[in-house]
């Protein structure tokens, strides 16, 4: 068995040994949802004070309002009763380090892990790659404040999202651990 799998399973054994949350209902008890980045440095349970059963946390690369993120948010409200949503991007996000074109080119060369240095991304793996990556919108980020505001606006204006649900936009600072409000996103997310 891989070392990682071993570690995960032994951590789970310890978790289950003192587990006492088996009584929790399915809908989140504090009635809110967070959309945030998958970055390993972000721990929404810690930075937002969550415990099991509290809230929905939807994560993807960048914390972007992709169609699938919106699918989850709509389920979160319509079927599971969340009443407030937060969109939280963060400083030093990997999504700022490439563009659709770069990703498409890298994948065309090789599917293996690429490297990055001061001169940009390089493919060190062997091919063949695949051009399918050129047809995907990777939802990269140029400017965090702008991406948060755009995502809040996209969610706000979605036809399946009720107008009265407040949507808040923040940037998490990976250096300080602080959530910093993004005024343009807060304005865009105000309930109508």
Binding site for Zn ion (CB under 5 A): 37, 39, 93
Nearer to Zn ion, 48 or 165 (CB): 48
Q: Is 117 exposed, middle or buried (0-12, 13-18, 19+ CB in 10 A)?
A: exposed
Q: How far is the CB of 120 from Zn ion (least distance, A)?
A: 19
Angstrom distance (rounded) from CA 71 to CA 69: 5
Nearer to Zn ion, 13 or 137 (CB): 137
Q: How far is the CB of 49 from Zn ion (least distance, A)?
A: 21
Q: How far is the CB of 72 from Zn ion (least distance, A)?
A: 18
How many Cβ atoms from other residues are within 10 Å of residue 10's Cβ?
10
Nearer to Zn ion, 91 or 109 (CB): 91
In the chain, which ranges are E strands? 32-37, 55-60, 84-90, 115-117, 120-122, 167-172, 179-181
């Amino acid at each position: 068995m891989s070392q990682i799998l071993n570690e995960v399973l032994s951590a789970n054994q310890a978790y289950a040994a003192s587990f006492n949350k088996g009584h929790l209902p399915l809908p989140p008890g504090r009635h809110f949802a967070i959309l945030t980045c998958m970055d390993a440095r972000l721990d929404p349970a810690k930075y937002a004070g969550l415990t099991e059963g509290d809230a929905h946390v939807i994560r993807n690369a960048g914390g972007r309002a992709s169609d699938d993120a919106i699918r989850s948010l709509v389920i979160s409200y319509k079927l599971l009763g969340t009443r407030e949503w937060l969109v939280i991007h963060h400083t030093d996000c990997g999504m700022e380090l490439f563009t659709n074109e770069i990703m498409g080119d890298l994948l065309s060369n090789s599917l293996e892990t690429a490297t990055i240095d001061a001169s940009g991304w390089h493919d060190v793996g062997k091919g063949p790659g695949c051009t399918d990556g050129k047809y995907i919108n990777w939802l990269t980020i140029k400017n965090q404040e702008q991406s948060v505001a755009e995502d809040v606006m996209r969610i706000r204006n979605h036809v399946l999202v009720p107008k009265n649900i407040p949507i808040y936009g923040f940037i998490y600072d990976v250096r300080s651990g602080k959530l910093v409000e993004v005024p343009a996103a807060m304005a865009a997310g105000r309930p109508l």
